């Protein structure tokens, strides 16, 4: 619902702005918009991929936002049960409305869902986010023809059940078994121990009727490792768990309160042979096993999810900086000169140093998400033609970037919250929900440290390949190039050169990868077994993987600006943002650039000075930069980040709705306080 305030000042919004002309905009925020040196809507078009795409996105969002069936009270005021129920109700309505509005394109469906769910989780998130992708990727043609229409038409509701109580990261160690019985041509699914209970799968606690279950396959007395099976969990008549199946919700978590993450146990549950998903590996009726063309194809659903998470984290970080920058423009604090108005907190250098690195990162990650999504589609097409050559590269890239961006993203959201002082702690700010929704991205779909170590494993192999003078894939080609000596920057203007900045990150990544490879070699040379050497070298490996990802992001940002058509004004601000992202990265990791003498103290002084100078360039455009993300208030769900900047009015209105304010005198007064106070002998 859009609240219109009384008109007190004219609001010059651009023709292209979709924001309903609010009737009173906070003058501080208006001043920021008037002072900006570029038109934010141009950047919005760029980010969306063109004006027509922006318009389409806005239309999809409005369809959801204006729909009376999708309205409800603020989720902050709901208990968990109510939240779960509301999420399911909305998921059902969303499914119906997507058909009614004839949203057939996947991007439009996602936009619609995201606007309809606002900052809550989507009740069929796992169904669409993992169950359907797993079926699409792992079913053979006959299975696809059977299962996909059922799942797409919501005749069955699914989840992805991989993690167990005792095993999450090390999936080769999962305990759930699927033993083939050739006599009946069935698999018998079983949970042999408590630690083998499936634990965590989203929508499994109360919603799902089916699951793609990852289990250890045994046939003819031999173990063949982890394979996916589709298993019916609940009756399609009355939703009761089927015989032999134990199901439940795992209880409240840090966040995801509307989500029914669940547990699942099997007691010798029989499923037909053809419920094993057989695109890549098969078991014949007599129990003969046919192995896949690549051993890790079973893991492909996770790769897809990791790619998606890079976009998700860019989106969430963009929301966080939008809230914090707008609020910092309207919040005033601490008189500097007696009698003169307190300054906007956005004017404090420390506030800028908190927010602008994450503002720059939000753009950097958005552009990175475009590139990794594009690469994912390319590799997917190659794989559909039977060429698995790039799968390892895609795994290394997606695992590393998911970890690198989510570390920064989670940290950024928390810094943005802190930058809003006390109000950042209120649910009205939007931060608690935003933070708890994004925090587990560092854990799910592969715990971040583990993911960076996977990237490191790939980089170590590439370092060896490079040493042998053999060919490397494009994104690690730099490992076969010689180190370039010292950073050539002589003055500050040299240090603003995108090529020079990208070279600095390239140098750092190459050095750290080679150093980690050398440490591994020398550890093994001392007689340590591989796994001991690996553990001994963790700190080098982690750093190498992280530096590689950091370089990838800087390089992508630079390339995006070089290769994309844009107005001079937008190019100018994106250039400053990119310079700031890179220079701030050098400043924060100064030790890495000094350690081998690539940079010297004098150059570092210049880096620091430039970071300070660029703060001014970003400061003037900061509000326009966050406006360009183009979040409607109904999607941002933050009283601090409202487009019109009328923060205090909104907070007061919101607080009045707190259930505790339903009555002037709370029940607990009569129950507890009154007896306590009136029993006292002391008289007033
Ligand atoms: C109406 C229509 C609407 C449409 C709507 C559309 C969209 C829906 C909208 C919204 C929904 C969106 C989102 C969903 C909603 C909410 C989300 C909520 C919750 C999130 C759900 C979370 C799910 C999960 O977490 S699932 C569980 C994930 N688990 C993990 O990630 C486990 C991590 N562990 C591993 O990946 C692996 O075990 C390991 C750590 C990689 C190690 O594996 P292992 O087998 O032990 O391998 P190694 O021995 O280490 O290595 C061997 C060899 O293999 C290579 N390798 C490893 N992995 C892969 C891989 N994936 N691909 C390729 N290669 C791989 C490895 O590098 C090594 O190679 P080498 O031998 O050459 O060195
Ligand atoms: C909100 C949420 C939703 C989820 N949804 C699903 C779902 O739908 N389906 C599903 O199957 N699962 C789901 N999960 C589970 C999730 O995928 C796992 O929790 C995740 O993969 C991490 O595994 P773990 O819990 O075993 O962590 P652990 O591996 O136990 O990690 C604990 C610590 O050990 C360290 N560690 C572990 N192994 C290594 C190693 N080899 N080297 C160095 N350090 C190591 C980690 O770095 C970490 O610090 C969900 C989890 C959450 C929080």
pLDDT over 70 (residue 9): no
- Does the Cβ of 443 fall within 6 Å of ligand 2? yes
Look at phi and psi of residue 147 and say left if phi exceeds 0, alpha if psi is from -120 to 50, else beta. alpha
Enter the DSSP assignment of 164. Answer: B
DSSP letters for 185-220: TEEEEE--SGGGSEE--TTTTTT-SEEEEEEEEEET
Q: Are strands 186-190 and 177-181 parallel, antiparallel or unpaired?
A: antiparallel
DSSP letters for 321-344: HHHHHHHHHH-B---SSTTSPPPB
pLDDT band at residue 484 under the 50/70/90 scheme: confident
The CATH number assigned to the domain with range 301-470+497-625 reads 1.20.140.10
Task: Give the residue, 121 or 18, on which the prediction is more confident.
Answer: 121
What is the third-level CATH fold of 28-123? Butyryl-Coa Dehydrogenase, subunit A; domain 1 (1.10.540)
Instruction: Report how far ligand 2's centroid is from the alpha carbon of 406 (Å).
Output: 14
pLDDT over 70 (residue 17): no
Instruction: Report how far ligand 2's centroid is from the alpha carbon of 629 (Å).
Output: 32
pLDDT over 80 (residue 210): yes
- Does the Cβ of 440 fall within 6 Å of ligand 2? yes
The predicted-structure confidence for 345-359, as pLDDT tens digits, reads as follows 999 999 999 999 999
Same fold, 132-292 and 301-470+497-625: no
Length of the chain: 684
Q: Are strands 177-181 and 210-219 parallel, antiparallel or unpaired?
A: parallel
The predicted-structure confidence for 433-480, as pLDDT tens digits, reads as follows 999 999 999 999 999 999 999 999 999 999 999 999 999 998 899 999
Give the distance, in angstroms, between the CA of residue 420 and the centroid of all CA atoms in the same chain: 22
Give the per-residue pLDDT at 2. 25
- Does the Cβ of 207 fall within 6 Å of ligand 2? no
Residue nearest to atom 6 of ligand 2 (CA): 201
Q: Which ligand is nearest to the CA of 214?
A: 2
User: Quick one: tokens of 574?
Assistant: 């994106």
The predicted-structure confidence for 296-318, as pLDDT tens digits, reads as follows 888 988 999 999 999 999 999 99
Atom of ligand 1 nearest to the CA of 95: 1
Q: Which ligand is nearest to the CA of 257?
A: 2
The predicted-structure confidence for 395-428, as pLDDT tens digits, reads as follows 999 999 999 999 999 999 999 999 999 999 999 9
Give the per-residue pLDDT at 681. 66
CATH of 132-292, one of 2.40.110.10, 2.60.120.260, 3.40.640.10, 1.10.10.10: 2.40.110.10
User: Quick one: tokens of 3?
Assistant: 């609240």
**Ranges of H-type helices in 68-165:** 80-100, 106-117, 125-126, 132-138, 141-152
Give the side-chain half-sphere CA count within 13 A for 138: 29
pTM for this structure?
0.95
pLDDT over 90 (residue 109): yes
Q: Provide φ and ψ at 664, rounded to 5°.
A: -65, -40
Q: Provide φ and ψ at 351, rounded to 5°.
A: -65, -40
Catalytic residue among 108, 433, 445, 506: 445
Would you say 361 and 581 are in contact if contact means Cβ atoms under 8 Å apart? Answer: yes
Q: What is the mean pLDDT of residues 72-85?
A: 94
d(CA 617, CA 620): 6
Q: What is the mean pLDDT of residues 249-258?
A: 97
Helix/strand/coil for 385: coil
Q: Spell out which residues line ligand 1, taking CB within 6 angstroms.
A: 95, 98, 109-110, 113, 121-122, 125, 128-130, 160, 162-163, 169-172, 202, 296, 299, 302-303, 391-392, 395, 444-446, 450, 454, 457-458
CA pseudo-torsion sign 663, 668, 670, 671: positive
Residue nearest to atom 20 of ligand 1 (CA): 444
What is the predicted ipTM?
A: 0.96
Q: Which ligand is nearest to the CA of 173?
A: 1
Q: Does the annotation mark 445 as catalytic? A: yes
Element spanning 285, H or E:
none
Give the per-residue pLDDT at 18. 58
d(CA 397, CA 403): 10
Percent of the chain clearing pLDDT 90 (strictly above): 91
Q: In the block, which residue shows the tokens 């590139």?
A: 371
Residue nearest to atom 42 of ligand 2 (CA): 450
Give the per-residue pLDDT at 565. 97
User: Quick one: tokens of 18?
Assistant: 């979709």
d(CA 39, CA 566): 12
Give the per-residue pLDDT at 295. 86
Instruction: Report how far ligand 2's centroid is from the alpha carbon of 320 (Å).
Output: 25
Give, in degrees to the nearest 5, the angle at Cα 75 between 73 and 76: 115
Q: In the block, which residue shows the tokens 């423009």?
A: 329
Mean pLDDT of the residues in the chain: 94
pLDDT over 90 (residue 272): yes
d(CA 260, CA 84): 7
Give domain limits for the chain: 28-123, 132-292, 301-470+497-625
Give the per-residue pLDDT at 680. 63
Atom of ligand 1 nearest to the CA of 168: 32
Instruction: Report how far ligand 1's centroid is from the alpha carbon of 166 (Å).
Output: 17
Give the per-residue pLDDT at 641. 98
Give the per-residue pLDDT at 249. 98
pLDDT over 70 (residue 1): no
Residue nearest to atom 19 of ligand 1 (CA): 202
- Does the Cβ of 255 fall within 6 Å of ligand 2? no
Residue to substitute in 116, 127, 446, 455 for testing ligand 1 pocket (most ligand atoms within 8 angstroms of CB): 446
Give the per-residue pLDDT at 679. 82
């Amino acid at each position: 619902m859009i609240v219109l305030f009384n008109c007190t000042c004219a609001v010059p919004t651009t023709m292209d702005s979709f924001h309903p002309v609010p009737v009173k905009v906070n003058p501080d925020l208006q001043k920021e918009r008037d002072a900006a040196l570029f038109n934010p809507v141009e950047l919005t078009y760029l980010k969306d991929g063109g004006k027509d795409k922006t318009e389409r996105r806005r239309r999809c969002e409005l369809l959801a936002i204006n729909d009376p069936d999708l309205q409800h009270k603020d989720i902050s005021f709901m208990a968990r049960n109510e939240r779960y129920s509301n999420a399911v109700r909305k998921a059902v309505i969303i499914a119906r409305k997507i058909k009614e509005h004839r949203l057939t394109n996947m991007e439009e469906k996602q936009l619609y869902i995201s606007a309809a769910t606002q900052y809550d989780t989507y009740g069929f998130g796992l169904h669409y986010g993992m169950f359907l992708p797993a079926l699409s990727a792992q079913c053979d043609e006959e299975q696809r023809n059977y299962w996909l229409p059922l799942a797409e038409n919501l005749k069955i509701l699914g989840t992805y059940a991989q993690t167990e109580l005792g095993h999450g990261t090390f999936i080769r160690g999962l305990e759930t078994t699927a033993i083939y019985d050739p006599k009946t041509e069935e698999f018998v699914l079983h949970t042999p121990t408590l630690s083998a209970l499936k634990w965590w799968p989203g929508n499994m606690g109360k919603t799902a009727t089916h699951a793609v279950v990852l289990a250890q396959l045994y046939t003819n007395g031999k173990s063949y490792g982890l394979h996916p099976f589709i298993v019916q969990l609940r009756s399609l008549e009355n939703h009761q768990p089927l015989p032999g199946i134990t199901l439940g919700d795992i209880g409240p978590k840090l966040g995801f309160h509307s989500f029914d993450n669940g547990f699942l146990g099997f007691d010798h549950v029989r499923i037909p042979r053809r419920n094993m998903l057989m695109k890549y590996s098969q078991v014949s009726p007599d129990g003969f096993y046919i192995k896949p063309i690549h051993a890790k194809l079973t893991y492909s659903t996770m790769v897809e999810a990791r790619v998606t998470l890079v976009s998700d984290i860019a989106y969430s970080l963009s929301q966080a900086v939008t809230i914090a920058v707008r609020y910092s423009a309207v919040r005033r604090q601490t008189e500097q000169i007696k009698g003169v108005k307190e300054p906007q907190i956005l004017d404090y250098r420390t506030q800028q140093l908190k927010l602008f690195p994450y503002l720059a990162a939000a753009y950097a990650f958005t552009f990175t998400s475009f590139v990794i999504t594009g690469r994912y589609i390319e590799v997917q097409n190659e794989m559909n033609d039977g060429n698995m050559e790039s799968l390892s590269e895609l795994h290394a890239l997606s695992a590393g970037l998911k970890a690198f961006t989510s570390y920064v993203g989670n940290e950024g959201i928390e810094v943005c919250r802190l930058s809003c002082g006390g109000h950042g702690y209120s649910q009205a700010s939007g931060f608690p929900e935003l933070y708890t929704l994004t925090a587990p991205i560092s854990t799910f779909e592969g715990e971040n440290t583990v993911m960076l170590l996977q990237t490191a494993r790939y980089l170590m192999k590439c370092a060896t390949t490079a040493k042998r003078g053999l060919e490397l894939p494009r994104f690690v080609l730099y490992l076969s190039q010689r180190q370039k000596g010292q950073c050539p920057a002589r003055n500050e203007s040299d240090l603003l050169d995108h090529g020079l900045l990208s070279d600095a990150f390239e140098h750092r990544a190459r050095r750290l990868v080679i150093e980690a490879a050398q440490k591994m070699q020398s550890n093994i040379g001392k007689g340590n077994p591989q796994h001991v050497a690996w553990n001994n070298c963790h700190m080098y490996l982690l750093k190498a993987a992280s530096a590689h990802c950091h370089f990838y992001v800087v390089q992508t940002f630079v390339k995006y600006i070089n290769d994309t058509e844009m107005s001079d004004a937008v190019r100018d601000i994106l250039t400053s943002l990119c310079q700031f992202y890179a220079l701030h990265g050098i400043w924060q990791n100064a030790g890495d650039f000094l350690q081998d003498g690539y940079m010297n103290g004098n150059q570092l002084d210049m880096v620091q000075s430039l970071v300070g100078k660029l703060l001014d360039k970003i400061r003037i455009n900061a509000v326009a930069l966050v406006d360009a993300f183009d979040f409607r208030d109904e999607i941002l769900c933050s009283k601090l980040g409202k487009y019109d900047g009328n923060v205090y009015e909104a907070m007061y209105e919101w607080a009045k709705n707190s259930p505790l304010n339903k009555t002037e005198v709370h029940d607990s007064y009569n129950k507890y306080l009154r007896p306590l106070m009136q029993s006292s002998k002391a008289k007033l």
